[in-house]
Copies of this chain bind each other. A is one copy, B any other.
Amino acid sequence: MATSEASVTRIMVAVNESTIKGYPHASISSKGAFEWTLQKIVMSNTSGFKLLFLHVQVPDEDGFDDMDSIYASPEDFKSLKSRDRARGLHLLEFFVTRCHEIGVACEAWIKKGDPKEVICHEVRRIQPDLLVLGSRGLGPFQRVFVGTVSEFCVKHAECPVVTIKRRSDETPQDPVDD
């Protein structure tokens, strides 16, 4: 089979930042989902796939560092927004760089909002062939309190979805972290 544009499989990978303090990079489960896609699906067929990286920023997820700041003027909010943007771009750069190194076509973009809602909305808009999500693989007790984006998307996203659980030997001290 030829790998013309029409027969390229478009895989959306939803990626997020680590929540671990002092770890300003992709989350363990995002990286796991990405590496699984490359190693188990793409393999040597680099021209057969296009990866679409969606990073959803939660408006209030800036966390403790930013809560120490004082927002006293519209400029403060602007600088916050540009910091958000810089962090998001830094995150996406990791994935895009890796794709370029191995020669897989990709696109990447940032959206704001509730991750599960935004991911399902972007699936409707982009219509990928497959959505790959990393998951912390939490037990039922932990899930009740933090919810899981992957469970929602498996049910509601309008395309096939595969969830890649974080490897147990990569679980951080607090398993809700990632």
Q: A45-B48, A154-B154 are in contact. Are A40 and B163 (CB under 8 A)?
A: no
Q: Report yes or no: A163 in contact with B163, Cβ–Cβ below 8 A.
A: no
Give Cα A39–Cα B165 distance, bound, in whole angstroms: 25
Partner of A164 from the list B3, B48, B160 (CB cut-off 8 Å) is B160
Give Cα A154–Cα B155 distance, bound, in whole angstroms: 10
> Smallest CB–CB gap between A116 and chain B, Å?
16
Give Cα A162–Cα B161 distance, bound, in whole angstroms: 6
Let me know if A69 is at the binding interface, CB within 8 A: no
Q: A45-B45, A45-B48, A154-B154 are in contact. Are A40 and B162 (CB under 8 A)?
A: no
> Smallest CB–CB gap between A9 and chain B, Å?
5
Residues of B close to A44: CB separation below 8 A: 1-3, 45, 48
- Please give the residue numbers on chain A whose beta carbons come within 8 Å of chain B beta carbons, in ascending order: 1-3, 7, 9, 36, 39-41, 43-45, 48, 129-130, 154, 160-165
